[in-house]
A and B are shown apart, each in its own frame.
Chain A
Amino acid sequence: MTCEHVQELLAEFLERRLESDLESQVKLHLAQCQECRQELEVEKTLSQWLKSREVTPVSSEFSQILMSRLGVAIPKPPRWFEGLLELSNYWAPALAAALVVIFASRTLLDWFDQVRFFGHQAVIAVDNLPSSADISRLLPDSISSSYPLGTLLILVAIGAVTFGIIRLLKN
Chain B
Amino acid sequence: MVHADDAALIKRFNKGDPEAFRDLVDRYKDLVHSVIRQTVPETNQAEDLAQEVFVRIYRGLDGFRGQSRLSSWIWRIAYRVCLSEIERIRRDRGIVSLDEQEFAVNPKLHPDLVDGSDALDNLATRDLWEAIFRELPARHRMILVLYYFRQLSYLEIAEVLDRPMGTIKSDLHRAKSALRKAYLHIKPSSK
A contact set with B: CB distance below 8 Å: 4, 7-8, 11, 39, 42-43, 45-47, 49-51, 53-59, 62-63, 65-67, 69-70, 72-73, 75
Q: Does B167 contact A (CB under 8 A)?
A: no
Query: What residue in chain A is nearest B130 (Cβ atoms)?
Result: A49
Q: Does B162 contact A (CB under 8 A)?
A: no
10 closest Cβ pairs, A-B complex:
A50-B148, A42-B180, A55-B34, A49-B129, A57-B30, A58-B33, A56-B34, A58-B29, A8-B173, A55-B30
Q: How far, in whole Å, are A63 and B24 apart by their CA atoms in the complex? A: 11
Q: Which residues of A contact B26 (CB under 8 A)?
A: 63
Q: Which residues of A contact B21 (CB under 8 A)?
A: 72
Q: Which residues of B contact A58 (CB under 8 A)?
A: 29-30, 33, 47, 50
Q: How far, in whole Å, are A41 and B33 apart by their CA atoms in the complex? A: 30
5 contacts between A and B (CB under 8 A): A4-B173, A42-B184, A49-B125, A70-B55, A72-B58
B contact set with A: CB distance below 8 Å: 18-19, 21-22, 25-26, 29-31, 33-34, 37-38, 46-47, 50-51, 54-55, 58, 125-126, 129, 144-145, 147-149, 169-170, 172-173, 176-177, 179-180, 183-184
Choose among A11, A45, A72 the residue that contacts B125 (Cβ–Cβ < 8 A). Answer: A45
Check if B34 sits within 8 Å of A54, measured CB to CB: yes
Q: How far, in whole Å, are A55 and B46 apart by their CA atoms in the complex? A: 13
Rounded to whole Å, the gap between the CB of B127 and the closest CB of chain A is 10
Check if B18 sits within 8 Å of A66, measured CB to CB: no
Q: Which residues of A contact B180 (CB under 8 A)?
A: 39, 42, 46
Rounded to whole Å, the gap between the CB of B91 and the closest CB of chain A is 25
Check if B125 sits within 8 Å of A66, measured CB to CB: no
Q: Which residues of B contact A50 (CB under 8 A)?
A: 144-145, 148-149
Q: Which residues of B contact A59 (CB under 8 A)?
A: 47
Q: Which residues of A contact B176 (CB under 8 A)?
A: 7, 42-43, 46
Query: What residue in chain A is nearest B132 (Cβ atoms)?
Result: A46
Q: Which residues of B contact A49 (CB under 8 A)?
A: 125-126, 129
